Structure 1
Amino acid sequence: MTEGRKAKARTGVAGLDEILAGGLTRKHVFLLEGAPGSGKTTIALQFLMEGVNLGEPCLYITLSETEEELRDTAVSHDFELGDNLKIFELVPPESLLDADQQQSLLYSSDLELGETTKLIFESFERLKPSRVVIDSLSEIRLLAQSSLRYRRQILALKHFFARSGATVLLLDDMTSDVLDKTVHSVVHGVIHLEQLAPDYGSERRRVRVVKYRGQAFRGGFHDFIIRTGGVDVFPRLRAIEHKTSFTREPVGSGVPALDGLLGGGLERGSSTLLIGPAGTGKSLFALQFVDAAVRRGEKAAVFVFDEELGLLFDRMKALGFDFERLRDEGKLHIEQLDAAELSPGEFAQRVRDRVAVFEAKTVVIDSINGYQASMPEENALILHMHELLQFLNRQGATTFLTVAQHGLVGDMKSPVDVTYLADTVILLRYFEALGKVRRAVSVIKKRTGKHEDTIREFTIGGNGLTLGEPLSSFQGVLRGVPTFVGGDKTLMVASEEGDGNS
């Protein structure tokens, strides 16, 4: 294969270029299709702007929008079009708009289609551009009136541009005939955009490469957003591509009794699930490991779905943790997320950036319940979480996930079962004893080593977590209503500083 055929024209959208294995093969014609509002024009402008930045002459031929509308779109994204990007607004000849001069012996569509093609070729010959965008094929399809004439017209455009050596991007808004796949068989590659409207929250957009001749690409759907400055595509995470080497060593929590319960701590590069009803202390257990990581000189990242950051900072400060100061010192990244405004792909990208750029070695996702709200269905959640946890494990990051169960005591249900994905599962429970509501913790799973099989009571006070001795004299603690079976009394005395929630 010659070097010219291998050369790629980058689209100017980093994530899209990653999906396309470098960009669009030069000297070929590609199709970018999607319903109105899905982002075609923005991507097309970025594609041309990338050419402008490389000093290439670029041409935007518009049959549907006016030049003024396109320039307004560019201004909204802070694009500087420059002199190398020409916009050719293709409008029908005035004679075809004049009712008195309409042809009677020939179909007007014959003249309009021929005139349109002629104007496209003429505009190209004047500029000799390296990159071309034609917006949109729906207008040409309407002029052609039949599939045969439309296919011939597309073939004519393809052969013309093939001889010219230009890289061409055809836009199709799919408003004429969404079932017409004529162009799919003719062009070198097809990129499909979708815009979805969930029951609540902002619209979700995703992209899929349908076809790319002679080129491997990353298949499946990939989330993307449109922001000021253009389109951001978040390639679907494949953990197998991100293997790194690190030393698997135990990491502690700073609470000796908790580390003892865990058999000496957690292994670096493993994931831990904290599961229990609301208020049992799941967040506090995870943040205890965050504080210990920062004290070791490492960085940490916390992603909060369920709680306002100001409240979290105040609550943790009362327990002896000044996370606001750690954030301001650049040792901790803590971010509040809105599940209604966030796609799974964007969230995965944010986590990846915190690990790759911020070099976080401890990651907390609080909670999976909030993360699930951004997912269309539970099956997709499991697949996303599997890849994300595998990625974090391969990067040597110690990950903590929290899941709130429905109910407070007795038979409780989880909204989603991810226990099999985590390397370690810590179970938190309320139980009633001697007229008081108390808390208990146990480790029910640990892949990376031994752990205690005991159940310990714990309290939350001004010094954070305090764990007691194993509840060996009680039975039925996990059911919420234990029975005393004899032996020494092992219940803890309530903290004088008062209990708290987490």
Structure 2
Amino acid sequence: MSTSTALSSDKAATGIVGLDDILAGGLSRSHLFLLEGEPGTGKTTVALHFLQDGAKSGERSLYITLSETERELRQGAKSHGWDLDDNIHIFELTPPESILDTDHQQSLLYSSDLELGEATRQIFEVVEKVKPTRVVIDSLSEIRLLAQSSLRYRRQILAIKHYFVRYDATVLLLDDLTTEALDKTVHSVAHGVIRLEELTPVYGAERRRVRVVKYRGQKYRGGFHDFTIAADGIHVFPRLVAAEHRAGYVRDTLTSGISELDALLGGGIETGSSTLILGPAGTGKSLISILFAAAAVARGEKAALFIFDEELGLLFERMRQLGIDLEALRASGNLFIEQVDAAELSPGEFSHRVRHAVDERGIKTVVIDSVNGFQAAMPEENALILHMHELLLYLNRRGAATFMTVAQHGLVGDMQAPVDLTYLADTVILLRYFEALGKVRRAISVIKKRTGTHESTIREYRIGAGGVAIGDPLESFQGVLRGVPTYMGSETPLLVDPIE
């Protein structure tokens, strides 16, 4: 792209896809922007993305550093695999030797007066020489210290702002918030303000997020958005807003391949709906959800498994013993399986991965096993419910069938789920243990289905080497869901022998 073509756009892209999405295309040209955040949040990396994007378009870019050396900047860029383009000029602003030499220090004037004036002069001289269209000044904390007073600091920022207007330059000021963090002087002067934050959980890797604090004359995506710093640079995951995504699809009914389970569900599960499988540990929640994924692959469709709780090798072996070869299904290319580490993955990045699987791979059956693992990545329950609401609504509008599992606390009797998602899900399948004839047995029932009718019965089911077997409705028992039922009939309608 030629320089004239690049400059014809009214926005200067940051070079970070997710951030440009949040900013509705990038930074308005010929304006001054503030990028603030504590040390280590990724300001320099964002700035290098911004300058590299301009260099690729043939624009002249200038990085003015008051805190890092040129060598440090180039080493930082090299760590991301970047070799800074010839169009990116780095100017290392250093104090003049006369100020460093004690024999030449002035006694009648404050040294800060000389340092600030000299620094400004050097900045303007290099700008006159390079004539850049994109400029980064790193960092404002050094200028603030030289200015000493808020009045001089504000005047200096205004002088820099008006100076760069002459060159139609888009300026990005970096502030590390190490001095007077409550000083909002630049906020009122800047055309836009972007803040980077780093959060450190009790356990696990640090979490980073970005927020647009201000953007004059421009609608942007508000709120916090997760981002990561990877080997190839910064990846921003814009907050998912389901209302922005609408797509037409044909509503169809998906079956599990087990006639009794499909009958219990009134024929099956509809596309564009979400299903919650609820029950204590060991009742077969993962198996029930995987049955629908395997059935989808058997029909020639694509499915995705996002596994939080179980190691994949163990899952493959366990499913193989039940007659489901997940490795073979994955090798066919129609089953996508990802192991998710809740301690290392932010909720925003997880939503992005699910969205990418549905949009890019054409997946129409999604399994999240389990929401308990997702909650570990986001301990705040209210925020978790909002995340799940947007994700489920988005998947529904894309015509995908979503299956979620939630492990309840306890084994029998009154059990509680760590988070209540029953009102969000379109279908709720309840799994239970119960005692009968000296054995611990399993029961399955459907307690909710928005998209159609379903059986109101409770059926026994067993898991064995041949898979899943579901029996007739337990019409002669009362209190199955409490765990210790009362037998009311003359014949026992239980499954007698386990499946071989």
TM-score by length of 2: 0.98
Aligned partners of 2:123, 2:31: CA distance in 1, in Å? 17
Asked if structure 1 preserves the Cα contact closer than 8 Å seen for 2:211 and 2:222, the reply is yes
**1:226-262 residue CA offsets vs partner (Å, 9 max, x unmatched):** 0011100000000011111001121111111000000
Pick one of 375, 378, 382 that aligns with 2:381.
378
Match of 1:422 in 2: 425
The alpha-carbon deviation at position 82 of structure 1 amounts to 1.7
Asked if structure 2 preserves the Cα contact closer than 8 Å seen for 1:5 and 1:25, the reply is no
Pick one of 62, 67, 70 that aligns with 2:70.
67
**1:50-94 residue CA offsets vs partner (Å, 9 max, x unmatched):** 011111111000000000000000000011212111100000001
1:184 aligns with 2:187: yes
Aligned partners of 1:471, 1:305: CA distance in 2, in Å? 33
The alpha-carbon deviation at position 4 of structure 1 amounts to 7.5
The alpha-carbon deviation at position 371 of structure 1 amounts to 0.3
**1:322-372 residue CA offsets vs partner (Å, 9 max, x unmatched):** 111111221111111110001000000000000011111000000010000
Aligned partners of 2:73, 2:422: CA distance in 1, in Å? 51
Pick one of 76, 93, 98 that aligns with 1:90.
93
Moved over 4 A (4+): 3-6
Aligned partners of 2:125, 2:104: CA distance in 1, in Å? 24
Q: How many residue pairs align between the two structures?
A: 495
Pick one of 24, 46, 51 that aligns with 1:48.
51
Matched residue of 2:329: which SS?
helix
**1:251-276 residue CA offsets vs partner (Å, 9 max, x unmatched):** 11111100000001111110000000
Aligned partners of 1:463, 1:156: CA distance in 2, in Å? 78
Aligned partners of 2:184, 2:306: CA distance in 1, in Å? 43
Aligned AA (1:252) = T
Match of 2:270 in 1: 267
Aligned partners of 2:326, 2:332: CA distance in 1, in Å? 10
Asked if structure 2 preserves the Cα contact closer than 8 Å seen for 1:305 and 1:336, the reply is yes
**1:273-327 residue CA offsets vs partner (Å, 9 max, x unmatched):** 0000000000000000001100111000100000000000000011011111111
Query: Equivalent pairs: percent with the same residue?
Result: 70
Aligned partners of 2:166, 2:330: CA distance in 1, in Å? 58
1:150 aligns with 2:171: no
The CA RMSD measured in Å over matched residues stands at: 1.1
Match of 1:281 in 2: 284
Matched residue of 2:222: which SS?
coil
The alpha-carbon deviation at position 6 of structure 1 amounts to 6.6
The alpha-carbon deviation at position 5 of structure 1 amounts to 9.3
The alpha-carbon deviation at position 161 of structure 1 amounts to 0.6
**Alpha carbons of structure 1 residues 431 and 111: separation in structure 2 relative to 1, 3 Å:** same
**Alpha carbons of structure 1 residues 102 and 376: separation in structure 2 relative to 1, 3 Å:** farther
Asked if structure 2 preserves the Cα contact closer than 8 Å seen for 1:254 and 1:292, the reply is yes
Match of 1:387 in 2: 390
Match of 1:159 in 2: 162
The alpha-carbon deviation at position 410 of structure 1 amounts to 0.7
The alpha-carbon deviation at position 178 of structure 1 amounts to 0.6
Asked if structure 2 preserves the Cα contact closer than 8 Å seen for 1:405 and 1:413, the reply is yes
Match of 2:307 in 1: 304
Pick one of 443, 447, 453 that aligns with 2:446.
443
**Alpha carbons of structure 1 residues 198 and 401: separation in structure 2 relative to 1, 3 Å:** same
Match of 1:203 in 2: 206
Aligned partners of 1:465, 1:266: CA distance in 2, in Å? 18
Matched residue of 1:360: which SS?
coil
Match of 1:15 in 2: 18
**1:132-171 residue CA offsets vs partner (Å, 9 max, x unmatched):** 0000000000000000000000000000011110111000
Match of 2:3 in 1: none
Aligned AA (2:431) = L
Aligned partners of 1:376, 1:342: CA distance in 2, in Å? 13
Asked if structure 1 preserves the Cα contact closer than 8 Å seen for 2:64 and 2:138, the reply is yes
Structure 1, unaligned runs of 5 or more: 498-502
Aligned partners of 1:397, 1:426: CA distance in 2, in Å? 18
Match of 1:243 in 2: 246
Aligned partners of 2:431, 2:228: CA distance in 1, in Å? 38
Aligned partners of 1:128, 1:169: CA distance in 2, in Å? 15
**Alpha carbons of structure 1 residues 487 and 452: separation in structure 2 relative to 1, 3 Å:** farther
Aligned partners of 1:248, 1:70: CA distance in 2, in Å? 54
Aligned AA (2:381) = E
1:207-356 pair list within 5 angstroms: 207-356=210-359
Aligned AA (2:144) = R
**Alpha carbons of structure 1 residues 496 and 450: separation in structure 2 relative to 1, 3 Å:** closer
Aligned partners of 2:438, 2:320: CA distance in 1, in Å? 29
1:172 aligns with 2:175: yes
Match of 1:500 in 2: none
The alpha-carbon deviation at position 189 of structure 1 amounts to 0.3
The alpha-carbon deviation at position 462 of structure 1 amounts to 2.1
Aligned AA (2:349) = E
Asked if structure 2 preserves the Cα contact closer than 8 Å seen for 1:6 and 1:25, the reply is no
